[in-house]
Structure 1
Amino acid sequence: MKYIAAGNTMIDNGHYADGRRVTQNLGGPAPFAYSGIRIWDDEVQLISNVGRDFYTIFKEWLDKNNVDTSGIVAKLDTSNHIDMYFDEHGDVLDIDSGTDKRNTYLYAEKIGYLKLFPEELSKFTEGKNVKGLYMAQNTDRLIWEKFAEIKKRDGFKYMWEIEGAHCIAKNMEDILFALQYTDVFSLNIGEARNLFETDDEDEIIRKLKELPVDMILFRVGKRGLFTIKEGKHYYHDSIKPERLLDPAGCGNTSTGSAMYSYCETDGDPIAVGIMANIAAALNISYYGIIPHMEAEREKANAMAKELISKYKSK
């Protein structure tokens, strides 16, 4: 496969401000990023550790999309299940694994069992001519040292979407270490505020430009996003979706799409930003993951062609 989306898989229960509640949506960073790539290209593989309930719950989606399941490994009886609560603007209010400390502990334990490590990823990249890889990741040094060896050996481009809890000022040294092995760095506005300890967006952008990485995808919620490259920043307004249903995973989906665009357009910051926003607009139009990704391709390509041309003609 040319592309890989790797990492955690979640099964989401969505709770919305208007009283809607939707259960057992496919989510998590890796599946959402997979969908953000798959809308453009079939040559992408999902690599994730799951519970065996995953195959029962999502069999229809797997079959409809002809998903290669060789990298989806059942390690426990049940997958990671979470409840996500959204406010009236579609922003996440809370992510809950249960109502008591025991449930929280068991959830954390399960996350650990199902975490994907570099040595599990290696066999899917070695000798496979992988162009680009997405994986949400923390800042643990040993994980990054092992990952660096794989990246050096196999030569793919890497999109790092930082895990939010690790995007804080005291972790800056570890973040800089990880950026040595990163081609594109993705974070949202809340994470950037925590990292730089400021709410001033202009100051955040200035500081992002100082980071040692080729490109940054700076996501600013429903407003859209910025791409940052070679000391310049490009604002990309969000794209109005056909339906406004479920904001879960828009960041992951847009980040996966950005990774694909980065590899296919030689790192064009305009194409990267626009294609990321297209993926987010498609994602928010459905509950959970995009149900039939190939069916969105013609529309996505037409939108990308029109919007990239319009942006560059300004």
Structure 2
Amino acid sequence: MKYIVAGMTITNDVVFADGTKSDCHLGGAIFSLEGVRTYTDDVLYVSNVGDDFEEYYGEWMARNNMKLDGMSKVLEHTHYNIVKYHPDGTYYEYSIYGPEFEARNREATWINADQVLAVCQGAKAMYIDSHEKEPFWQRVDEVRATGCQILWEPPTKCLVDPEVREKTWKIIDKVDMYTMNRPESFAFFGVDSEEAVLEKLLEYGKPCFYRVGSKGSYMVSGGKYAFAPSIDIGEFVDQTGCGNCSTAAAMYAYFEGYDNLMVAVMANIAAGYNLLQYGPYPHFTPEVTADALALAEKTCAELRAK
């Protein structure tokens, strides 16, 4: 496969700030897979799951021509969380199986380098959502030595907790691209404006996909940056997973060689499809992919003309 998406699979029941609820939605890094799948089916999903994975995800994977070669059934259950949103858009989540299940299955959930090395020969790039303590990072150089470039989406804790900041920088130093959102960036750099963050990102120099919520996103690389506003595909339903989805789409677009503006636009369009329903977009046909790319090209042309 040309691209790899690696991360934790989590089914979600979503509880909104007004108390309404919607149950049993595909989630976790499946949103990241969705981001790449918006534009190509040449992508493999790597995740540690339970025997019940196909009960929840089998139909979506088959419908979207996704192979199961990267799945490892090593957990008691595939993770299943309640996600509760606050009025300000922040949220917290917890497992329906309880904290004991999470503790027993924590390390088995982690992605390790052997899993990636088994499938990354010939791959152009991969997305990984992984904590700083996970064993993958001990052998990340082996993965990069295969020619597979890496985008890391750091968990929020890695960016906002001063105690792990040094470790976070060490990992960012070892990957080819990274990402953060606006609240994370303010905490990470100790600033209070997007402009100040962009200065920091340009100073560091490594490609970064910078997400600024419903406003849109920036792609920073090559000593410059481009901003693209959010794009409406249709009626808004649920924002869960938009950050993961857009980041993985940005990874795909960047390593396909698109410029900063096109990367940001393609990422925002992927997020636009994710907003249309609970869970990932149900079926990426060749027509949907062609429409997404055509919209990206049209949007870029309009933004450049301004």
Do both proteins adopt the same fold according to a TM-score greater than 0.5, normalized to the shorter chain?
Answer: yes
Q: Percent identity?
A: 28
Where does residue 81 of structure 1 map in the other structure?
80
Cα distance in structure 2, aligned partners of 1:22 and 1:123: 37
**1:203-243 CA distance string (max 9 Å, x none):** 22222222241x11111111111111233232211112412
Matched residue of 2:81: which SS? strand
Matched residue of 1:251: which SS? helix
Could you tell me whether the CA contact under 8 Å between 2:232 and 2:272 is conserved in 1?
A: yes
Is the counterpart of residue 251 in structure 1 residue 246 in structure 2? no
Deviates more, 1:269-278 or 1:223-232: 223-232
Q: CA deviation at 1:142?
A: 5.8
Could you tell me whether the CA contact under 8 Å between 2:153 and 2:179 is conserved in 1?
A: yes
**1:124-170 CA distance string (max 9 Å, x none):** 013xx101111012224863230112212x11221111111111334
Number of residue pairs the alignment of both structures matches = 304
Could you tell me whether the CA contact under 8 Å between 2:49 and 2:109 is conserved in 1?
A: yes
Where does residue 120 of structure 1 map in the other structure?
115
Is the counterpart of residue 298 in structure 1 residue 290 in structure 2? yes
Matched residue of 2:178: which SS? strand
Go from structure 1 to structure 2 and tell me whether the alpha carbon gap of 1:212 and 1:143 turns closer, same or farther (over 3 Å shift).
farther
Q: CA deviation at 1:267?
A: 5.0
Could you tell me whether the CA contact under 8 Å between 2:234 and 2:276 is conserved in 1?
A: yes
Structure 2: state its 5+ residue gaps.
none
Could you tell me whether the CA contact under 8 Å between 1:33 and 1:257 is conserved in 2?
A: yes
Go from structure 1 to structure 2 and tell me whether the alpha carbon gap of 1:279 and 1:49 turns closer, same or farther (over 3 Å shift).
same
Cα distance in structure 1, aligned partners of 2:224 and 2:138: 30
Q: CA deviation at 1:66?
A: 2.5
Cα distance in structure 2, aligned partners of 1:139 and 1:209: 24
Counterpart residue type for residue 2 of structure 1: K
2:223 aligned residue (195, 211, 231): 231
1:95 aligned residue (93, 111, 117): 93
1:276 aligned residue (267, 272, 277): 267
Where does residue 10 of structure 2 map in the other structure?
10
The correspondence of residues 159-170 of structure 1 with structure 2, limited to 5 A, is 159-168=151-160, 169-170=162-163
Structure 1: state its 5+ residue gaps.
none
Matched residue of 1:291: which SS? coil
Go from structure 1 to structure 2 and tell me whether the alpha carbon gap of 1:272 and 1:208 turns closer, same or farther (over 3 Å shift).
same
TM-score by length of 2: 0.92
Cα distance in structure 1, aligned partners of 2:148 and 2:282: 28
Where does residue 240 of structure 1 map in the other structure?
232
Q: CA deviation at 1:105?
A: 4.3
Could you tell me whether the CA contact under 8 Å between 2:125 and 2:255 is conserved in 1?
A: yes
2:174 aligned residue (166, 169, 181): 181
Go from structure 1 to structure 2 and tell me whether the alpha carbon gap of 1:143 and 1:67 turns closer, same or farther (over 3 Å shift).
closer
RMSD of equivalent CA atoms: 2.0
Go from structure 1 to structure 2 and tell me whether the alpha carbon gap of 1:187 and 1:248 turns closer, same or farther (over 3 Å shift).
same
Where does residue 47 of structure 1 map in the other structure?
46
Matched residue of 1:279: which SS? helix
Matched residue of 1:167: which SS? helix
Cα distance in structure 1, aligned partners of 2:288 and 2:169: 37
Go from structure 1 to structure 2 and tell me whether the alpha carbon gap of 1:17 and 1:172 turns closer, same or farther (over 3 Å shift).
closer
Cα distance in structure 2, aligned partners of 1:138 and 1:76: 18
